[in-house]
Amino acid sequence: MHTHRRLIPALIFAVAGPAAWAAEAQVAVAANFAEPIKAIAAVLEKTTGHTISVSLGATGAFYTQIRNGAPFDVFLAADGERPALLDKEGLAAPDTRFTYARGKLVLWSVDPAKVDNKGKALTSPQIRKVALANPKTAPYGAAAVQVMDRLGVAEVLKPRLVQGESIGQTYHFVKTGNADIGFVAMSQVLSEGRLREGSMWVIPQAHYDAIRQDAIILKRGERNEAAIALMKLLQSPNIKDLIRSYGYDL
């Protein structure tokens, strides 16, 4: 009996020690950043022991959820506007906002012959469905609308457009063939800096306003060690290189 009594405190200490030290943060992440955040989460856990639970979606939808009390610690948006509003509205930790990436929009198809490098596919009569993200909630969707306007093809394309709720759903439409081509984030179609499949046109920056992606710690995550560690990691040179490898500018 005495032996058991001596062991119990040691066991409790062994179990409680690391668990008490490692924190977890709930992170709302714009869907275009789905692949990089997986790699970043793995580095975070390996280097700090902290973990993150990631929810993917459209920036505008997350903004509404956060204003309605959704329990997120960190917000990685696809624009600078919503994090700035949350800051102004007192829903974020002060002085934590910064730009973690600048997104690039591409026109993409799973068919290696469908998209040329000048975007002529947009007006090809063979293209029946063109996917884009909801411009009201997804900054990449708003950028796609700017491209169509600036190229003078918005009216022609109107009857062919199919809309995803986020850039994630938009990618899925093209990937599954429910759309012939689509406006997606470059990060969704690259792997180690190369196009994984199909064909793409990297849309010139002159055709749309820069997609500045800001990160911010929300009020709930102000003292969360995992949230603070994630923000530090996003600004480290190695992670900046990783983000670049997915086709982002910094």
pLDDT, tens only, 169-199 = 999 999 999 999 999 999 999 987 899 999 9
* Residue 91 CA, distance from chain mean position: 20
Classify 234 in phi/psi space as left (phi over 0), alpha (psi -120 to 50) or beta.
alpha
CATH number assigned to the domain comprising residue 128? 3.40.190.10
Average pLDDT, the chain: 92
Tell me: do 96 and 220 sit in the same domain: yes
Residue 250 is assigned to a structural domain of this protein: no
pLDDT in tens, 197-208: 999 999 999 999
If pLDDT is split at 50, 70 and 90, which confidence band does 14 have? very low
The half-sphere exposure of 67 on its side-chain side, counting CA atoms within 13 A, is 14
Structural domain count of the chain? 2
Distance CA 94, CA 75 (A): 14
Tell me: do 92 and 153 sit in the same domain: no
Residue 144 main-chain phi, psi, to 5 deg: -60, -40
Tell me: do 142 and 156 sit in the same domain: yes
Long-range contacts (CB closer than 8 Å, 24 or more residues apart) made by 171-179: 171/31, 173/129, 173/131, 174/108, 174/109, 174/110, 174/131, 175/110, 177/110, 178/129, 178/131, 179/129, 179/130, 179/131
Nearest to 201 by CA among 136, 130, 99, 102: 130
